[in-house]
């Protein structure tokens, strides 16, 4: 139950049977209950028979669900998807979090940026709105760019004005988007580079669905990173695993 | 002897026309897409107030973020220098040692020595939190006009704490507070306190020495003044027209240039 999106998965015997996401809201219990019921139906599971486990900033609103911290959920989710994962970065709506895992999947270090919106999902959403582009297309759009635009300011608010100016100057949108994706990537890479753990890196969270950001991260790091099939579901999968879904 | 100063800020353009050492005309307008066009319009307005024409002006100095964009000026000066000059002019007898200036996209704290020369300064232009943009963005969310923020906040009995630093996150926080039915005036007072805290931290870096002069557009906001005075525990010197101090400084410098030219044998 993230700041912007609430994600749910139904798991049994180590398989994700259904997954879905809705916008987070202030009174989430009703809509999230409906989402879980719908996914249960899709998975062919009798609604209410499954063990429920919740994570994320809104988890305390889910009465009756076992609760686990975001860190636990991401660690478990990442290791379930790719057991050799040693670093998992959650590129969330309102923050970026990096977890370093030891050989046994236990978290050994944790760094976060949740004070500044630059480089978060919210940053990309605001820029997509300023550009009049669907947020879901921000990744693909940047692949057509010849040369990424240079965005001089890092603050989301100031960068938004800069983007508006670039649009007014007729700079191609794909080049602006490539510049923005590059900014997000730079922040992520700086966090990864300051981690001491070596090994497989997984990018999770909604922003990891942005292929432009992922490509820019790999270019900066000069190595491949692991992107799950549904990067935004890693935390939810971790919660399902802790509720027994892996067995 | 007629001179003019134009301050091309990120958010507003200000112009001041001086005649023989006195401000005779001034104007302020929101910065449009073209800085030069806005500058010409604002100068025109200030000239109209003074009953003069552009051809009457002997020397023009521009300052501010967009100072190099306009073709009007004979010379440019940094906004720090112009602000200090303007402060000396409008608060001549007050022995100002610290200037706090909140702009649309930056904030400055300037320390002056006993002879009112710039000793050191600190500046934030990297993050919107702590600048005028913070108040502007949150006023928009609240649906309150920028000029109503101050008077409304004075009605607050218990200011709410805005916990987010980032302007973007503070925007969501204000939306949540509104949805919870929290009094608008308490939210606004909290916004002013949040900005005051950030400005005070920066001011302490250069050292807060009395008298402390507060200028820039947000200094017109009585709630902002009150919050900053409480945070610093001192009374601030606020000029009658805080928004045009820097433009006035530029006009003073332009007048000095003219004086030198006239006195040249």
Mutation choice for B interface testing from A155, A159, A164, A169 by most B CBs within 10 A = A155
Contact B165 A116 (CB under 8 A): yes
Region A229-246: mean pLDDT is: 94
Q: Please tell me which of the candidates B128, B165, B179 has its beta carbon nearest to residue A158.
A: B128
Q: Residue B180 is encoded by which pair of tokens?
A: 């919870």
Banded pLDDT at A3 (limits 50, 70, 90): confident
Banded pLDDT at A222 (limits 50, 70, 90): very high
Is the Cβ of B127 closer than 8 Å to some Cβ of chain A?
Answer: yes
For residue A7, pLDDT over 90 is answered with yes
Query: In chain B, which residues have their Cβ closer than 8 Å to the Cβ of A155?
Result: 126-128, 167
**Residue A218 contacts residue A103 (beta carbons within 8 Å):** no
CA gap A82, B59 in Å, rounded: 70
pLDDT in tens, A131-162: 999 999 999 999 889 999 999 999 999 999 99
CATH of B93-238, one of 1.10.1240.10, 3.40.1160.10, 3.30.420.40, 1.20.1070.10: 3.30.420.40
DSSP A94: S
Burial (0-12, 13-18, 19+ Cβ within 10 Å), A198: exposed
Rounded to whole angstroms, the maximal C-alpha distance in chain B is: 72
Is the Cβ of B176 closer than 8 Å to some Cβ of chain A?
Answer: yes
For residue B118, pLDDT over 70 is answered with yes
Give the pLDDT of residue A247. Answer: 82
Contact A158 B167 (CB under 8 A): no
Banded pLDDT at B214 (limits 50, 70, 90): very high
pLDDT in tens, A124-138: 999 999 999 999 999
Burial (0-12, 13-18, 19+ Cβ within 10 Å), B265: exposed
pLDDT in tens, A20-75: 999 998 888 889 999 999 999 999 888 777 899 999 988 998 888 999 999 999 99
CA dist list (Å): B218 to A18, A185, B31, B164: 52, 35, 16, 20
For residue B79, pLDDT over 60 is answered with yes
Verify that A120 and A205 share a domain, yes or no: yes
CA gap B158, B153 in Å, rounded: 10
Mutation choice for A interface testing from B33, B107, B128 by most A CBs within 10 A = B128
pLDDT in tens, B27-71: 999 988 888 999 999 999 999 999 999 999 999 999 998 898 888
Q: What is the number of domains present in chain A?
A: 2
Contact A123 B168 (CB under 8 A): yes
For residue B216, pLDDT over 70 is answered with yes
How far is residue A228 CA from its own chain's centroid?
11
Give the pLDDT of residue A172. Answer: 95
Verify that A184 and A238 share a domain, yes or no: no
Query: In this structure, how many other beta carbons lie within 10 angstroms of the beta carbon of residue B12?
Result: 22
Q: Residue B213 is encoded by which pair of tokens?
A: 């002069």
Query: What is residue A165's three-state secondary structure?
Result: helix
Phi, psi dihedrals of residue A181, rounded to the nearest 5°: -60, -35
Verify that A48 and A119 share a domain, yes or no: no
Is the Cβ of B133 closer than 8 Å to some Cβ of chain A?
Answer: yes
Is the Cβ of A156 closer than 8 Å to some Cβ of chain B?
Answer: yes
Closest C-alpha among B75, B121, B125 to residue B249: B75
pLDDT in tens, B186-195: 999 999 999 9
Contact B126 A168 (CB under 8 A): no
Is the Cβ of A106 closer than 8 Å to some Cβ of chain B?
Answer: no
Beta-strand runs (E) in B192-239 = 212-215
Is the Cβ of A157 closer than 8 Å to some Cβ of chain B?
Answer: yes
Give the pLDDT of residue A118. Answer: 94
Nearest CA in chain B to A169: B33
Torsion of CA A231, A175, A192, A211, to 10 degrees: 20
**Residue A88 contacts residue A74 (beta carbons within 8 Å):** yes
Is the Cβ of B179 closer than 8 Å to some Cβ of chain A?
Answer: yes
Query: In chain A, which residues have their Cβ closer than 8 Å to the Cβ of B126?
Result: 153-155
Min Cα separation B227/chain A (Å):
23
Q: Name B116's Cβ contacts closer than 8 Å, sequence gap at least 6.
A: B84, B87, B88, B96
Residue span of the structural domain in which A168 resides: 84-227
Contact A122 B168 (CB under 8 A): yes
Is the Cβ of A27 closer than 8 Å to some Cβ of chain B?
Answer: no
CA dist list (Å): B196 to B78, B103, B147, B201, B227: 25, 13, 18, 9, 6
**Residue A122 contacts residue A160 (beta carbons within 8 Å):** no
Verify that A92 and A172 share a domain, yes or no: yes
Contact A168 B33 (CB under 8 A): yes
Contact B127 A122 (CB under 8 A): no
Min Cα separation B18/chain A (Å):
34
Contact B127 A115 (CB under 8 A): no
ipTM of this predicted structure: 0.86
Verify that A52 and A160 share a domain, yes or no: no
Verify that A216 and A152 share a domain, yes or no: yes
Question: pLDDT averaged over chain A?
Answer: 93
Contact B165 A26 (CB under 8 A): no
CA gap B63, B69 in Å, rounded: 10
pLDDT in tens, A179-193: 999 999 999 999 999
Query: In chain B, which residues have their Cβ closer than 8 Å to the Cβ of A116?
Result: 127, 165-166
Q: Beta A200-204 vs A85-91: how paired, if at all?
A: parallel
For residue B10, pLDDT over 60 is answered with yes
**Residue B105 contacts residue B222 (beta carbons within 8 Å):** no
Provide the CATH number for the domain formed by B1-91+243-265 in this structure. Answer: 3.30.420.40
Verify that A103 and A32 share a domain, yes or no: no
Sign of the four-CA dihedral B188, B190, B195, B200: positive
Verify that A33 and A105 share a domain, yes or no: no
Contact B128 A26 (CB under 8 A): no
Phi, psi dihedrals of residue A14, rounded to the nearest 5°: 75, 15
In chain B, what are the domain boundaries? Answer: 1-91+243-265, 93-238
Contact A26 B179 (CB under 8 A): yes
Verify that A208 and A123 share a domain, yes or no: yes
For residue B265, pLDDT over 60 is answered with no
Q: Please tell me which of the candidates A3, A122, A158 has its beta carbon nearest to residue B105.
A: A158
Is the Cβ of B165 closer than 8 Å to some Cβ of chain A?
Answer: yes
Verify that A39 and A150 share a domain, yes or no: no
pLDDT in tens, B124-177: 999 999 999 999 999 999 999 999 999 999 999 999 999 999 999 999 999 999
Query: What is residue A106's three-state secondary structure?
Result: coil
**Which residue(s) pair with A53 in the sheet?**
A66
Nearest CA in chain A to B126: A155
Verify that A100 and A33 share a domain, yes or no: no
Banded pLDDT at B263 (limits 50, 70, 90): low
Which CATH number goes with the domain that contains A64?
A: 3.30.420.40
Q: Residue B218 is encoded by which pair of tokens?
A: 């947000």
Q: Beta B75-76 vs B98-102: how paired, if at all?
A: unpaired
pLDDT over 70 percentage in chain B? 99
Nearest CA in chain A to B177: A26
Contact A155 B128 (CB under 8 A): yes
Is the Cβ of A129 closer than 8 Å to some Cβ of chain B?
Answer: no
Is the Cβ of A26 closer than 8 Å to some Cβ of chain B?
Answer: yes
Sign of the four-CA dihedral B56, B59, B64, B70: positive
């Amino acid at each position: 139950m993230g700041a912007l999106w609430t994600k749910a998965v139904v798991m049994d015997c180590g398989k994700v049977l259904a997954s879905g996401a809705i916008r987070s809201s202030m009174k989430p219990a009703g809509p999230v209950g409906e989402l879980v019921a719908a996914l249960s139906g899709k998975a062919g599971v009798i609604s209410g028979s499954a063990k429920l486990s919740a994570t994320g900033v809104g988890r305390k609103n889910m009465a009756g669900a076992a609760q686990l911290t975001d860190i636990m959920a991401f660690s478990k989710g990442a290791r379930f998807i790719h057991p050799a994962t040693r670093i998992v970065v959650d590129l969330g709506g309102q923050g970026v979090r990096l977890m370093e895992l030891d050989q046994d999947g236990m978290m050994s270090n944790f760094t976060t940026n949740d004070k500044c919106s630059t480089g978060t999902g919210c940053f990309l959403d605001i820029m997509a709105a300023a550009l009049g582009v669907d947020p879901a297309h921000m990744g693909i759009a940047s692949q057509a760019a010849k040369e990424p635009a240079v965005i001089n300011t890092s603050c989301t608010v100031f960068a938004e004005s800069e983007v508006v100016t670039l649009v007014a100057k007729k700079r191609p949108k794909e080049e602006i988007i490539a510049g923005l994706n590059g900014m997000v990537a730079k922040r992520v890479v700086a966090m990864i580079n300051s981690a001491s753990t070596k090994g497989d890196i997984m990018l999770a969270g909604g922003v990891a669905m942005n292929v432009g950001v992922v490509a820019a991260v790999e270019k900066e790091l000069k190595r491949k990173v692991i992107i799950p099939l549904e990067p935004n579901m890693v935390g939810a999968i971790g919660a399902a695993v802790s509720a027994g879904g892996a067995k | 002897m007629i001179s003019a100063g134009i301050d091309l800020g990120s958010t507003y353009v200000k112009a001041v026309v001086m005649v023989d050492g006195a401000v005779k005309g001034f104007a302020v307008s929101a910065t449009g897409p073209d800085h030069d066009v806005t500058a010409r319009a604002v100068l025109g307005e200030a000239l109209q107030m003074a009953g003069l024409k552009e051809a009457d002006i002997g020397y023009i100095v521009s300052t501010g973020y967009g100072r190099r964009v306009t073709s009007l000026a004979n010379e440019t000066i940094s906004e720090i220098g112009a602000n200090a000059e303007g402060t000396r002019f409008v608060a001549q007898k007050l022995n100002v040692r610290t200037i706090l200036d909140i702009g649309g996209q930056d904030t400055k704290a300037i320390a002056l020595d006993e002879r009112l020369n710039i000793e050191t300064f600190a500046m934030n232009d990297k993050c919107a939190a702590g600048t005028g943009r913070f108040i502007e963005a949150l006023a928009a969310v609240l649906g309150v006009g920028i000029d109503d923020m101050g008077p409304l906040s004075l009605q607050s009995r218990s200011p709410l704490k805005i916990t987010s630093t980032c302007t973007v996150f503070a925007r969501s926080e204000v939306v949540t507070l509104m949805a919870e039915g929290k009094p608008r005036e308490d939210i606004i007072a909290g916004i002013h306190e949040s900005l005051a805290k950030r400005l005070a931290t920066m001011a302490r870096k250069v050292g807060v020495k009395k008298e402390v002069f507060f200028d820039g557009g947000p200094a017109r906001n009585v709630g902002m003044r009150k919050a900053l005075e409480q945070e610093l525990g001192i009374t601030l010197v606020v000029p009658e027209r805080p928004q045009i101090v820097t433009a006035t400084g530029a006009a003073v410098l332009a007048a000095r240039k003219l004086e030198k030219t006239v006195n040249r044998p």
